[in-house]
Chains A and B, each alone.
Chain A
C-alpha cells in the first residue's frame, strides 16, 4: 500500500483539478470525434465508379520529315543497323542530346542468343552505343520476360551487352507495374503495365527478332510490346490479335528495329534448335511498327494478310501494312 495522499485542501483546488480533467476529457472526445469524421469512409469499398482510370498511353513517336523505313541486307547486324539508320538520316534524327532512351528488347526466354528467340546482344550493343554517341543522357534496357528475369537477361547475353555498352539494365519486380486503363480498349482495362522504368524516358525503341509464333502467327516488333504487360497476362492468349492491336494503340515508339538476319521459321516463339532458323539477311529500322512487321511477315514466307493483327492495326491507322508506300530506303552496307 502506498502512503495515503493528503486530502485536498479547500474547494478551489479540487475545482481547478476537476476543471482541468473535464477540459482534458472534453478535448479527448472532440479529438476522437474529429478523427472519426476525418476517417469516415463516404465511399464504401468496392465502389467501382471510383476505379482508377489511368490512361496507359505512351507516345514517343516523332513526326519529323524524312524517310520512315530503312532496310539493310547482310549478315553483320551492327553494320546493318548503322546502314539502315543512315538511310533514315542517322540516329541523330531521332535521338537528341540529353534524351533518356528506353530500349525494349525481347528477352522472353532464358536461352542463348544463337537460338534466336531473343534480341541479339551485338545488335543491342551497337544500338546503345549509337544512342550514347548521339548524346543520350541515359539508355535503359528492359523487358518483362516469361522465364525468371535475372536468368533471361544473363543467359541471352542481353544483360552483359547492355552493361558493356553503357546502358542500364532494368529488371522488373513486383513494384514495377501500375494498373491502368487504355482509352478505347476492351482488354487493357485496370491492368498492370510496366511503369517504373518509364519515369523520365523521352524516347522509346523496340528491338525484336523475326519469329514464328504458334498462337499469334508471328512475333515481331508489335508482339514485342507484350513484354510491357504485367499480371496474369497469359489470359490474353484468348484474344491474341486483340491484345497485340491494343498494345500498338498503347505504345507509339520512336523507332522499331526488326532483326531478320536470321528468322525463326518454326517452333516459335521459343525455338530451341538452330534448325528452326533460316538466314533471311534483313534488318529493318522504321518509325512504323506495322510496316516493319508487314515486311517481316514476308521473311517468314507469309504476307500481312496471314496475320489478323496486322490487318486490324492497318485498318485502325496504327501504321500501314503497305510498306512499299513508305518508299523504304534499301541499303547493302559494305562488309555486312
Chain B
C-alpha cells in the first residue's frame, strides 16, 4: 500500500470520526445520541486549545493533556496532524483536489508554489497568543480569542450549528425544534473558507490556520523530513503537482509549511530524488517560518492590545451585560472568557436548545460563547440537567454533578445553581396589567417549593364588575433563573416574565440577596 493511500484512509477515518462525535453530541434516548462517546476528543487533541488556555489560566485543564500526544507526534514527524488527522484540513484537502483535478498540470503546479503570504498565519498565531499572554492581577488583560480561527473549534462550531443542522433539515428530523441564532454567519464563514479551496488549494491551512502555524514551529524539531537529492533530480517540478502545504519540495524545502501529505513522493516521476529521510535535505531546507522579525513584533504588539481594548467597555466590570445568561456551572466571566474556545459543544449538547451562540450583542469578545435564550428551545434550562458542563473541553463550564446543580446531597448549604433571576414585568403581565387570569409561570415553575407565588387580588373591571386575580410574584431566594417561566409566558413577543443574570451563582458580586447560604 502506498503511503498516500494510508494517508487518505487516515483522513477519511478521522473526518468520519469527527462527524460522528458531532452527531452524537446531543442528549436523547436514540441510539445515535450521546452514550459516553468522547465528544470533546478532537478539541482536547488540539495543542492550540491547550496553549491558549494554559496562557490565560496558567494551568492545563486535565483533558487537554491529549494535546501532548499531538505535540510529541509533531516533534517526531512534523505536521502529520495537518496532513493526516485534522478534519478541517481533510475537507480543504478534498475541496482543493476537486478544484484542481481537471486543470492542466502547469496550473496545478503553479497553484501549489510557495507564496510569501503563507507567513501571515504565523502573525495570526502570534497575535492570538499575545492576546492571551498577560494575566496581570486577575487575568484582567488576557482574552482567549484563539477559538475564532483555531481549526478544530471552528470546524466543530460550523458542524454543530450549520452543517449538521442542514443535515437534520434534509433528514426531516425535528429541525423545527432546534435553532441556532447567528448560525447563518457561522455557516457562511465556513462555506467561504471551504470554497476558497477551489481557487487556492488548502487556502485556509496555508495562509490562515494558527494551529498549523503552531505545529509548523514545533515541527522544526523533527529529525526527519522530505528530502530531495538534486543530483538525480531533473527539476521537472512535478513534486508541486499535489503538494498540500506549498512547501517547495524540490528544495530548499519549507519545513514549517510541509504537511507530510507525501504526495511529492507519488508525483516524482523517478524513484530516487524525492524521499523521506534524515534532515537536512540535500537540496536544502528553510526551517524557520517565513515571517519577518518586524511582522512578528507587530503581530505581538497588536495582540497585546486586544484584551485591554476589549475590556474598555466594562463588560467584565460594572457594565456587565445582565441579559447574557451563562449556562449552569459556568465560572465567573473573566475566567470564562479565559477558557471558552467558542466550539459550541455545550450548545449542541443542550437538550432543550435554550443554549445559543452569542452574537455581537454582548460585545465581540463574547462572540459565539454560550448564552441562554429562553425564547428559543423547548423549555428553558432544565433544573436537573448538567449536560453542557460535561461537554465543555476547557472547564469554562464546570462538569457539575446533579447534586451540586440541584443543591442536595451535601450541597444543601450552597443551594441549587442559579443562572439568573426572573422578573415579572407588571406592565405586560395579564393578571397584573390586563385584568385576566393566567399564572402559567407559577404553574410551570420547576422549583419546589415554587419560586413564583401568587398574590390574590379582586380587581374592579372597566365595565363595573370585579374579577378575582392571582398575580405572580418571584421569590429571589428560590428562583434559579431556569427560564421555563419566560419560555412558557403567553405574552409571546416580549415576555411578561423575563430572566436576567442578576443573582447568578457564579459571581459573588452579582448577588442581590444576602442570605442564600442559610436558606
Q: Known contacts A2-B284, A36-B60, A44-B62: does B278 contact A17 (CB below 8 Å)?
A: yes
* A48 near B284: Cβ-Cβ < 8 Å: no
B111 within 8 A of A: no
B222 within 8 A of A: yes
Minimum C-beta distance from A216 to chain B (A): 15
| Chain B residue nearest in CB terms to A15 | B278
Q: Which residues of A contact B399 (CB under 8 A)?
A: 44
Q: How far is the CA of A45 from the CA of B250 in the complex (A)?
A: 50
**Interface size of B by Cβ–Cβ distance < 8 Å?**
50
A12 within 8 A of B: no
Q: How far is the CA of A289 from the CA of B343 in the complex (A)?
A: 57
Proximity string of chain A (45-71) to chain B, C-beta cutoff 8 Å, 1 when within and 0 when not: 110100000000000000000000000
Q: Which residues of A contact B60 (CB under 8 A)?
A: 36, 39-41
Which residues of B in the span 492-519 have a Cβ within 8 Å of any Cβ on A?
Answer: 506, 508-509, 511-515, 517-518
* B223 near A21: Cβ-Cβ < 8 Å: yes
* A190 near B514: Cβ-Cβ < 8 Å: no
Q: Known contacts A4-B284, A46-B398, A238-B514: does B61 contact A41 (CB below 8 Å)?
A: yes
* B331 near A1: Cβ-Cβ < 8 Å: no
* B335 near A189: Cβ-Cβ < 8 Å: no
* A24 near B62: Cβ-Cβ < 8 Å: no
Q: Which residues of B contact A232 (CB under 8 A)?
A: 509, 511
* B283 near A39: Cβ-Cβ < 8 Å: no
Which residues of A in the span 15-45 have a Cβ within 8 Å of any Cβ on B?
Answer: 17-18, 21-22, 24-25, 28-29, 32-33, 36, 39-42, 44-45
B252 within 8 A of A: yes
* B59 near A39: Cβ-Cβ < 8 Å: yes
Q: When the two chains form the complex, which single residue of B223, B339, B517 contacts A25, counting CB atoms closer than 8 Å? A: B223
Q: When the two chains form the complex, which single residue of A14, A191, A242 contacts B278, counting CB atoms closer than 8 Å? A: A14
| Chain B residue nearest in CB terms to A42 | B62
Q: How far is the CA of A2 from the CA of B283 in the complex (A)?
A: 8
B271 within 8 A of A: no
* B515 near A186: Cβ-Cβ < 8 Å: yes
Proximity string of chain B (366-386) to chain A, C-beta cutoff 8 Å, 1 when within and 0 when not: 000000000000000000000
Minimum C-beta distance from A242 to chain B (A): 8
Proximity string of chain A (175-208) to chain B, C-beta cutoff 8 Å, 1 when within and 0 when not: 1000000000011011100000000000000000
Minimum C-beta distance from A43 to chain B (A): 9
Q: When the two chains form the complex, which single residue of A1, A14, A24, A42 contacts B221, counting CB atoms closer than 8 Å? A: A24
A239 within 8 A of B: yes
Minimum C-beta distance from B475 to chain A (A): 14
Q: Which residues of B contact A36 (CB under 8 A)?
A: 50, 60, 65, 67-68
A10 within 8 A of B: no
Chain B interface (Cβ < 8 Å from any Cβ of A)? 50, 54, 57-62, 65, 67-68, 71-72, 75-76, 137, 218, 221-223, 229-231, 250-252, 278-280, 282-284, 329, 331, 335, 339, 395, 398-399, 414, 506, 508-509, 511-515, 517-518
List, sorted by A's number, 7 A–B pairs whose CB atoms are closer than 8 Å.
A1-B251, A3-B284, A33-B72, A44-B395, A46-B506, A189-B517, A191-B508
Chain A interface (Cβ < 8 Å from any Cβ of B)? 1-8, 14, 17-18, 21-22, 24-25, 28-29, 32-33, 36, 39-42, 44-46, 48, 175, 186-187, 189-191, 231-232, 235-236, 238-239, 242
The 3 closest A-B CB pairs, nearest first, are A21-B223, A41-B59, A39-B60
Q: A4-B283, A7-B282, A33-B72 are in contact. List 14 more A-B contacts (CB 8 A).
A: A4-B251, A14-B278, A21-B223, A25-B221, A29-B72, A29-B75, A36-B68, A45-B339, A46-B506, A186-B515, A191-B508, A235-B512, A235-B513, A238-B513
